[in-house]
């Protein structure tokens, strides 16, 4: 696992945007095959998406040959609800980039058969060629996508029940009323994320510091599902200084030293 630490959230977010753009451009140079990416929602990716939009407008990257799959969606929320992840993605990314609409995949939380929708999502990911890169955030409880504590590290796309913790944290988007947050969601599994060739996790702010410490320095555990990244050959965790705040001093220095050595 690689850990990149930047002084602030903006710099960490730009680092991720450039990593994504570089990966898309690198594949386009050697292959006509589409670049397949996993996208996340939440507060964390906002500056990364803003930078990707800027880069598309500046002609520095194109999403014309990119296929995307979002990691999760609430169950039973109208697609045009302002807090649906459909709305979030169109508003914050898809409306402003050149990714063809037919290449955009987001789980349908209103599908008549949710289990069938999850199975078909996994199938479509395979048919697209599998993920080149998965971009994710991390929950305060260490979840990756909506893989709450005690989710199997072998899990695949399925319906999940959100924990009290997540309902509380996400209530900020629903008028601070936990009862308005959908209790269930559909989410790619931990194994779905880990199937990507490269996984890039961005964590910003002091509220993520404990989960980051546990996922990087703790044992791999279903209690902190991001910790499964320890078992991935090409996992990168990108942090601002606040999210790195609970790492041991020696870990912090180690990651900084590795990065400095690789830059030489
Ligand atoms: P956040 O959510 O970016 O809004 O903090 C991340 C997550 O819950 O995975």
Atom 4 of ligand 1: nearest residue by CA position: 42
Provide mean pLDDT across the span 148-163: 97
In this structure, the number of other CB atoms found within 10 A of the CB of residue 219 comes to 9
* pLDDT at residue 172 greater than cutoff 90: yes
Provide mean pLDDT across the span 185-196: 98
- DSSP assignment of 172-237 equals GGTTT-GGGS-SEEEE--HHHHHTSSEEEEEE-SGGGHHHHHHHHHS--BTTBGGGGGGG-TTEEE
Owner of token pair 């929708």? 117
Q: Which atom of ligand 1 is nearest to the CA of 166?
A: 8
Provide mean pLDDT across the span 39-64: 98
Q: How far is the CA of 19 from the centre of ligand 1 (A)?
A: 20
Provide mean pLDDT across the span 76-82: 96
Q: How far is the CA of 142 from the centre of ligand 1 (A)?
A: 10
- Please give all residues whose beta carbon lies within 6 A of any atom in ligand 1, as ranges: 42-44, 137-139, 143
Kindly state the percentage of the chain with pLDDT values over 70. Answer: 100
Q: Which atom of ligand 1 is nearest to the CA of 144?
A: 9
Owner of token pair 């601002």? 240
* pLDDT at residue 74 greater than cutoff 90: yes
- DSSP assignment of 74-115 equals ESS--TTSTTSHHHHHHHHTGGGS---GGGEE---TT-SSHH
Identify the band that residue 264 occupies on the pLDDT scale cut at 50, 70 and 90.
confident
User: Which residue out of 13, 44, 48, 168 has the highest number of ligand 1 atoms within 8 Å of its CB and is therefore the one to mutate?
Assistant: 44
User: Would you please indicate which residues are annotated as catalytic (active-site) residues?
Assistant: 72, 141, 143, 148
Residue 24: per-residue pLDDT: 98
pTM, two decimals, is: 0.97
User: Which residue out of 16, 42, 201 has the highest number of ligand 1 atoms within 8 Å of its CB and is therefore the one to mutate?
Assistant: 42
Provide mean pLDDT across the span 107-119: 98
């Amino acid at each position: 696992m690689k850990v990149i630490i930047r002084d602030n959230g903006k710099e960490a977010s730009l680092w991720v945007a450039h990593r994504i753009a570089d990966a898309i451009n690198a594949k386009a140079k050697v292959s006509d095959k589409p670049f397949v990416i996993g996208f996340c929602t939440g507060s964390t990716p906002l500056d990364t998406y803003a930078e990707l939009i800027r880069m598309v407008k500046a002609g520095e990257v194109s999403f014309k040959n990119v296929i995307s799959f979002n990691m999760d969606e609430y169950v039973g929320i109208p697609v045009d609800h302002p807090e649906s992840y459909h709305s979030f993605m169109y508003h914050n990314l898809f409306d402003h980039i050149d990714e063809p609409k037919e290449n955009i995949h987001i789980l349908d939380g209103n599908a008549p058969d949710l289990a069938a929708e999850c199975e078909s999502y996994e199938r479509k990911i395979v048919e697209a060629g599998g993920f080149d890169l998965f971009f994710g955030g991390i929950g305060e409880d260490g979840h990756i996508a909506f893989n709450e504590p005690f989710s199997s590290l072998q899990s695949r796309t399925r319906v999940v029940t959100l924990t009290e913790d997540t309902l509380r944290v996400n209530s900020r988007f629903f008028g601070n009323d936990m009862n308005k947050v959908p209790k269930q969601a559909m989410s790619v599994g931990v194994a779905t994320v880990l199937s990507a060739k490269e996984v890039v996790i961005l964590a910003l702010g002091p509220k993520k510091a404990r989960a980051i410490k546990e996922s990087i320095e703790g044992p791999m555990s279903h209690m902190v599902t991001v910790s499964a990244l320890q078992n991935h050959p090409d996992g990168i965790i990108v942090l601002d200084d606040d999210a790195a705040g609970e790492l041991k001093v020696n870990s912090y220095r180690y990651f900084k030293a590795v990065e400095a050595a690789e830059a030489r």
